[in-house]
């Protein structure tokens, strides 16, 4: 991979990405993006959520998955950090606990590709009245 050091180098990368995005938008799948939220509060960071997030960013495209990877705060599952919430288009979000980089790979291969569930899913423990 070429070295990126200056803003000019960055601009070159941007040109490439721009064309890819244009192609993607034309193939009408903008709404069908997978959303991946990595919990990143004190508890998450201390448990290594940074590596988990980097792993997702670096490995999704290799696996042909177009997803938005972002961060969120603490959901109160500090004991199970790093936690990751994944929303597949048209489905309810699922929260995965103890997502180390190995587990992240498992999630990519099993859940994201084949809809198979993996261990350490944190069950939904309440509904709000609004949801009913």
Partner 1 sequence: MQTLSDHILDIAQNSIRAKASRVEIDLQEDPSTDSLTFTIRDNGCGMDEATLAKVTDPFFTSRTVRKVGLGIPLLKQNAEATGGTLQIESKQGVGTTLEAKFSLTHWDRPPLGDMAGSIVILVSANPDIEFIYRHITEKGCYTFDTEEVKEIMEGVPVNDPEIVMALRQMIRENIKEITQTT
Does position 14 interact with partner 1 (CB under 8 A)? The reply is: yes
Look at the block and give the residue holding tokens 């198979």: 116
Does position 11 interact with partner 1 (CB under 8 A)? The reply is: yes
Q: Are 128 and 111 in contact (CB under 8 A)?
A: no
50 CB burial (10 A radius; 0-12, 13-18, 19+) = middle
Does position 7 interact with partner 1 (CB under 8 A)? The reply is: yes
- Cβ nearer to partner 1, comparing 47 with 94: 47
- Cβ nearer to partner 1, comparing 76 with 93: 76
- Rounded CA gap, 63 and 92, in Å? 22
| CB-based contacts of 82, cutoff 8 Å, min separation 6 | 38, 39, 44, 47, 48, 49, 52, 98, 99, 100
Among 72-80, 81-89, 97-105, 115-123, the segment contacting partner 1 (CB under 8 A): 72-80
- Cβ nearer to partner 1, comparing 30 with 117: 30
- Cβ nearer to partner 1, comparing 30 with 121: 30
What does each C-alpha distance from 73 to 53, 68, 70, 128 come to in angstroms? 13, 16, 11, 20
Q: Site map for partner 1, 22-61, x if CB under 8 A?
A: ------------------xxxx-xx---x--xx--xx-xx
Q: Is 35 helix (H, G, I), strand (E, B) or coil?
A: strand
Write out the residues near partner 1 by the rule CB under 8 A.
3-7, 9-11, 13-14, 16-18, 20-21, 40-43, 45-46, 50, 53-54, 57-58, 60-61, 68-71, 73-76, 78
């Amino acid at each position: 991979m070429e070295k990126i050091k200056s803003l000019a180098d960055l601009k070159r990368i941007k040109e490439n990405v721009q064309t890819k995005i244009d192609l993607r938008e034309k193939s009408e799948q903008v709404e069908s993006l997978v959303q991946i939220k990595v919990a990143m509060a004190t508890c998450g960071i201390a448990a290594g959520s940074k590596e988990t997030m980097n792993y997702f960013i670096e490995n999704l495209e290799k696996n042909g998955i177009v997803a938005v990877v972002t961060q969120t705060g603490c959901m109160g599952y500090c004991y199970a950090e790093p936690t990751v919430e994944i929303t597949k288009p048209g489905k309810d979000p699922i929260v995965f606990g103890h997502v180390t980089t190995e587990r992240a790979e498992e999630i990519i291969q099993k859940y994201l590709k084949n809809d198979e569930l993996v261990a350490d899913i944190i069950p939904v423990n309440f509904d709000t009245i609004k949801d009913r």
